[in-house]
Each structure stands twice: as structure tokens, then as C-alpha cells.
Amino acid sequence: MNQDGVIVLFSGGQDSTTCLAWALTRFARVETLGFDYGQRHAIELRARLRVLAGFRTSYPEWTAKLGEDHLLTLDVLKQIGGSALTDAVKIEMGTDGLPTSFVPGRNVLFLTAAAALGYRRGISDLVGGMCETDYSGYPDCREKTIAATAEALSLALGQRIEVHTPLMHLDKAATWRLAEELGGKTLVDLIVEETVTCYEGDRTHRHDWGYGCGVCPACQLRARGYETYRRS
């Protein structure tokens, strides 16, 4: 068990919830950090609190390690705009070859803010759910981008910053499997019931993999991964 503290980038989605469980099995003191960046669906921010409450109810041994939950406002992303996640833009392939759900610079900004918060709190380990396996081609989810960002932040802050990305090489089915390994069926059920992945922020349609529109790329990825996980 690593006795240091760690900050988990925690959005209230499937991936960051799995990352939170991962961190709780490895670090003695775990803090969570969410960002209000003007995302169209503030439903994400409510999911964070439901998931944290679920952890506290179901896992007393994890609750003892769970420290402060932080929420930072990064509305510069909304000011810049142009993404389907911050504006009324249709989710489709953009002229840049990336889906319109791409928010340029988001992960680098998130990690910079997380490292700065960690600096103040004596924490140099960060955990993020970035993944280059099942991703949508977002260049800021690549392992190379994360490693270079960690390197730049270490130089900028004058201390080692380590960014852990436990999902980097997993597909969505493997992410469901990892959740089961870490927290059993209880964690899988909590992820199904309470986390939000849907780009449309839909919480009215319930599927066996959870709530969502069922149509957007994030829902399709989550549904396919869940099916494969259940069959295996």
C-alpha cells in the first residue's frame, strides 16, 4: 500500500469511478477532483456525489481512506466553445477528423489544475481514466500525451508528478471486468445505476448497462463493452 496521497480525476462516469476504486486499493489517502467546465449536462456533477455516497455506504474500508472532494471551475473551455460537450453542436465527425465531442486541450488543462491542487495539498500522484484503446481518437488520451504532460508538469512545479492511467490499455469490457475485480458485483451495480457516460446526459432510458440515450457514441461503446463483459 502506497502511503502517499493521490488525487483522482473524478467525473462521475464509468471510467473515473473504476479509477477511484483502483486508487483506493493502492493508496492510503485518496482525494477526488471534478471539473465544472460548462459541460452541457450538469447531470455529471450530480452523479459524482451519488457515486461517492455509494462508496461510503458499501465500502467502509475505502471510506476510511476517502478524503476531500474538490470541484474546480474551468469555464474557459465553455468560453472557447465549439464542442458538442459544451455547445449545441451535433455529435458527428468534424472536418479535423475527430468527433465534434472533442474538447481541445481538456485533459492537459485538467491535469495542470490537478497537479497545482496537489502541490498545495502535498500530493504528487494523480490518477486519470484516459484510455487509448477504445477511445474516439482524441489525441489528448494517448499515453504519449499523458507522459509528456507529466514531464512538463514535473518541470513546471519543480517536483515529480506521476500520472497513473490504469485504463490506458483496456477496452470497455476489460474496464467492467476490472471494476468487478476491485469491488465485486456491488461496484458493477453501482456503476450501472449511478454513473453517467452518455453524451446527451440522458437519465430516463434504463438499459441493462445503465442509463443513457443508447444512440450516442459513448452509450454505444458502454453497451458493447458491457455485452462482451457479460458474455465472458
Judged by beta carbon, residue 142 or residue 205, the one nearer Zn ion is 205
Cβ proximity of 101 and 91 under 8 Å: yes
Q: Which of 198, 201, 209, 210 binds Zn ion (CB under 5 A)?
A: 198
- Indicate whether 219 belongs to the interface with Zn ion (CB under 5 A): yes
Judged by beta carbon, residue 140 or residue 200, the one nearer Zn ion is 200
Stretch that binds Zn ion, among 71-79, 80-88, 182-190, 209-217 (CB under 5 A): 209-217
- Indicate whether 216 belongs to the interface with Zn ion (CB under 5 A): yes
- Indicate whether 213 belongs to the interface with Zn ion (CB under 5 A): yes
- Indicate whether 212 belongs to the interface with Zn ion (CB under 5 A): yes
3-state secondary structure 47-60: HHHHHHHHHHHHCH
Judged by beta carbon, residue 44 or residue 200, the one nearer Zn ion is 200
| Total number of residues shown for the chain | 232
Buried b (16+ CB within 10 A) or exposed e, 13-32: bbbbbbbbbbbbebbebbbb
Q: Three-state SS for 143?
A: helix
- Indicate whether 74 belongs to the interface with Zn ion (CB under 5 A): no
Residue the block writes with cell 490518477: 127
Cβ proximity of 167 and 130 under 8 Å: yes
Number of residues that bind Zn ion (CB under 5 A): 6
The CB-of-222 to Zn ion minimum distance in angstroms stands at 8
Judged by beta carbon, residue 52 or residue 216, the one nearer Zn ion is 216
* Contacts with 36 (C-beta within 8 Å, 6 or more apart), sequence order: 42, 45, 71, 72, 73, 74, 75
Judged by beta carbon, residue 95 or residue 204, the one nearer Zn ion is 204
Binding residues for Zn ion (CB under 5 A)? 198, 200, 212-213, 216, 219
